[in-house]
């Protein structure tokens, strides 16, 4: 099994499901697509920010922003990251079908604001830890915003409260979970033998077939496109009835066939757009993150100077003492031959 397949499998078999964003497979695909597009300059900037044990595989960090929120993945520190939960999504009024930033993303506390914030941070030279944190948040939130239910309705928390049965299953699932991972799992199992590397190749081909548009850098347009899909398709069942939290849904082949192409186009768009963002950041940055780490602070330089002067003085003193010792050793010793008086 290739390294890429193994890493994808690690994510796929996680025993917990995240509340926000694509499932681990979807997030990994988007980041892997983005990394495949990196310029030489982009790779030189990004590679040092990837933990060494992932062997320059940025997709291994694709779900970090989810992992830090849960006790099973981050048992000692998950409480410190709860502030980041609202940054994974945007809630719009039910059936309003229009995104208004001043209403839906107050003080930039939403996924769109988070993408803008961390992009701006990465344009400036920070220390390595801050760089890594900003990068890991950015790659995840860019994935999140391409999952349409991240601009879902306020009342049902982006489809999390709309529950029902899928493909004749006996257990209850919810609409958000279906769009995170349920529909993707069906696709992988049926058509790709659950091989995530084969599926990545397919989505990569889709990405290459897409035509970049003028709105690729316009986050608000991405969101408005999500809202259109949410209102026109996601909440409509196989009998054209509107789904809500008051009754359980029953979804199967018709809903799957209608939805999977939307999901795959969004995965491809997410990877393509994230790649563009990272390359743009790399070209704007004045220096690599590691350059700052290699620089010595003023205090360190002063200490080195003091130590160097002390060493020099010690050497000079040592030489002086050695010369004196040599001179003293070279002086003739006189002996008195006069016999003592009795």
Helix (H) or strand (E) holding 151: none
CA distances (Å), origin 133, targets 43, 252, 272, 276: 17, 39, 22, 19
Percent of the chain with pLDDT over 70: 82
206-253 tens-digit pLDDT = 999 999 888 888 999 999 999 999 999 999 999 999 999 999 999 999
Alpha-carbon span 218 to 160, nearest angstrom = 27
Matching residue, tokens 């997410």 = 270
Cα angle at 125 between 119 and 128, to 5 degrees?
95
**pLDDT value for 4:** 46
**pLDDT value for 124:** 85
List the one residue out of 289, 285, 277 whose CA is nearest residue 119: 277
Q: In the numeric block, which tokens belong to residue 73?
A: 């993945």
At 149, is the pLDDT very low, low, confident or very high (cuts 50, 70, 90)?
very high
List the one residue out of 56, 127, 110 whose CA is nearest residue 291: 127
**Confidence check: pLDDT of 8 > 70:** no
Alpha-carbon span 138 to 270, nearest angstrom = 12
**pLDDT value for 12:** 37
* Mean pLDDT value of segment 249-267: 98
**pLDDT value for 311:** 72
Q: What is the phi/psi pair of residue 242, to 5°? A: -80, 130
Grouping H, G, I as helix, E, B as strand and the rest as coil, residue 244 is coil
**pLDDT value for 1:** 45
Grouping H, G, I as helix, E, B as strand and the rest as coil, residue 251 is strand
**pLDDT value for 240:** 95
Alpha-carbon span 281 to 41, nearest angstrom = 10
Question: Greater confidence, 189 or 335?
Answer: 189
**Confidence check: pLDDT of 89 > 70:** yes
Helical ranges in the chain per DSSP H: 3-12, 24-36, 40-46, 64-67, 101-104, 111-122, 128-144, 175-177, 183-191, 196-209, 219-229, 253-284, 289-294, 298-330
Question: Greater confidence, 113 or 330?
Answer: 113
**Confidence check: pLDDT of 265 > 90:** yes
List the one residue out of 265, 294, 110 whose CA is nearest residue 187: 265
Q: Bridge-partner residues for 251, per DSSP?
A: 166
Q: In the numeric block, which tokens belong to residue 129?
A: 């830890």
**pLDDT value for 298:** 59
Least confident piece of the model among 12-26, 90-104, 257-271, 302-316: 12-26
Cα angle at 66 between 280 and 184, to 5 degrees?
85
Asked if residues 200 and 4 have their Cβ atoms less than 8 Å apart, the reply is yes
Helix (H) or strand (E) holding 173: strand 173-174
Task: Note the pTM of the prediction, 2 decimals.
Answer: 0.79
List the one residue out of 119, 115, 174, 171 whose CA is nearest residue 149: 174
Asked if residues 151 and 227 have their Cβ atoms less than 8 Å apart, the reply is yes
Q: Tell me, what DSSP letter sits at residue 66?
A: H
**Confidence check: pLDDT of 86 > 90:** yes
Q: Tell me, what DSSP letter sits at residue 234?
A: I
Q: Within 13 Å of residue 266, how many CA atoms lie on the same side as its CB?
A: 26
- Radius of gyration of the chain measured on its C-alpha atoms: 31
Q: In the numeric block, which tokens belong to residue 331?
A: 């002086």
30-44 tens-digit pLDDT = 999 999 999 999 999
């Amino acid at each position: 099994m290739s390294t890429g397949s193994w890493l994808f499998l690690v994510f796929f078999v996680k025993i917990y499901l995240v509340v926000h964003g694509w499932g681990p497979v979807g997030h990994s695909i988007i980041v892997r697509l983005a990394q495949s597009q990196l310029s030489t300059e982009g790779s030189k900037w990004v590679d040092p920010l990837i933990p060494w044990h992932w062997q320059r595989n940025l997709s291994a960090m694709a779900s970090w922003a989810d992992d830090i929120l849960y006790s099973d993945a981050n048992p000692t520190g998950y409480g410190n990251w709860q502030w980041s939960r609202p940054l994974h999504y945007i809630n719009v009024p039910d059936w309003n079908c229009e995104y208004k930033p001043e209403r839906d993303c107050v003080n930039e506390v939403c996924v769109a604001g988070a993408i803008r914030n961390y992009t701006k941070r990465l344009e400036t030279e920070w220390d390595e830890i801050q760089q890594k944190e900003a990068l890991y948040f950015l790659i995840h939130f860019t994935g999140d915003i391409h999952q349409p239910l991240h601009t879902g309705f306020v009342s049902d928390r982006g489809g999390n409260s709309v529950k029902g049965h899928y493909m004749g299953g006996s257990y209850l699932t919810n609409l958000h979970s279906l769009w995170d991972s349920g529909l993707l799992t069906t696709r992988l199992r049926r058509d790709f033998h659950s091989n995530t590397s084969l599926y990545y190749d397919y989505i990569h081909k889709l990405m290459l077939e897409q035509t970049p548009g003028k709105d690729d850098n316009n986050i608000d347009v991405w969101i408005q496109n999500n809202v259109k899909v949410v209102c026109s398709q996601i909440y409509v069942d196989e009998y054209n009835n509107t789904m809500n939290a008051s009754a359980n849904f029953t979804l199967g082949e018709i809903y799957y066939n209608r939805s999977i192409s939307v999901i795959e186009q969004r995965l491809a768009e997410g990877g393509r757009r994230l790649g563009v963002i990272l390359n743009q950041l790399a070209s704007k940055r004045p220096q690599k993150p590691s350059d700052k780490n290699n620089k010595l602070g003023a205090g360190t330089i002063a200490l080195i100077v003091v130590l160097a002067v002390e060493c020099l003085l010690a050497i000079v003193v040592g030489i002086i003492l050695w010369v004196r010792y040599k001179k003293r050793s070279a002086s003739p010793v006189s002996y008195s031959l006069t016999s003592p008086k009795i």
